[in-house]
Copies of this chain bind each other. A is one copy, B any other.
Amino acid sequence: MNLITNSELSNHPTFVSNNNINHKTFKTMITTANIKNGVNVDQLVETIGAVQSNPELAKFEFRAKNKWIDGGHAVSHIKDFYGVGAEDESRQETFEMECSHPNVLLGQNEAATPPEVLLHALGSCLTGAMVYHAAANGIEIESASSTLKGGCDLHGFLGLDPAVRMGFDGIKFTLKVKSDASAEQLEQLAKFSPVFDMVTNPTPVTIEIIKE
């Protein structure tokens, strides 16, 4: 699949929609690592080329292990994943993270609540997607910081009113960014975020419960 000449994709935003990034000129003109926004654009272009040559390389599986401590307090461990045709061997560290609840939600404030952790994942993902796609399009991002707010009504979680949802009724993401690109263009780039996709669109979750 050739992004630049495939007319079917001409109106679809792509990682390499800017002609400034051309595999051939790129490889011959650049001799040192080409870093933009902290992204190694050489490696990015190679990744795109590899995926285009062998679509199987694009398949990833991410995983987490979670263990209940007590009440609304739990800990996750994250390390291994599958991608680029193999189990990852690059990670030395297992990432440990907790969730808990504040006093008014019957916890002891050991960690942030799961919905707050979702806000963290969403903000990081929207920003990262913008930064990667900006790098691929030759757009510089000087700085970026954001706030996220999500409102909910406990009548949902408590089961007191079936008309009220359990989760946030909406999330507001406000991003302050220094860049020459327009706000509209940056928003389009941010929307490549996988977590944004998973929050705004339904993602099926299969539950299997095994009694021990």
Contact = CB atoms under 8 A, between A and B. Distances in A.
Q: How many subunits of this chain does the assembly comprise?
A: 2
A166 to B, nearest CB: 4
Contacts of A1: 160-161
Instruction: Give the secondary structure class of A's interface.
Output: mixed
Contact of A48 (B72, B150, B158, B167): B158
B210 A174 contact: yes
A76 B152 contact: no
A21 interface: no
Interface in A146-166: 146-162, 165-166
A123 B66 contact: yes
Nearest to A128: B72
Given A112-B97, A168-B194, A149 B199 contact: no
27 contacts: A9-B162, A47-B104, A47-B106, A51-B154, A52-B160, A60-B152, A61-B149, A61-B151, A62-B168, A68-B131, A74-B128, A78-B116, A88-B104, A92-B109, A95-B111, A121-B121, A129-B166, A165-B201, A167-B195, A168-B194, A170-B203, A171-B206, A173-B206, A174-B208, A175-B207, A175-B208, A179-B211
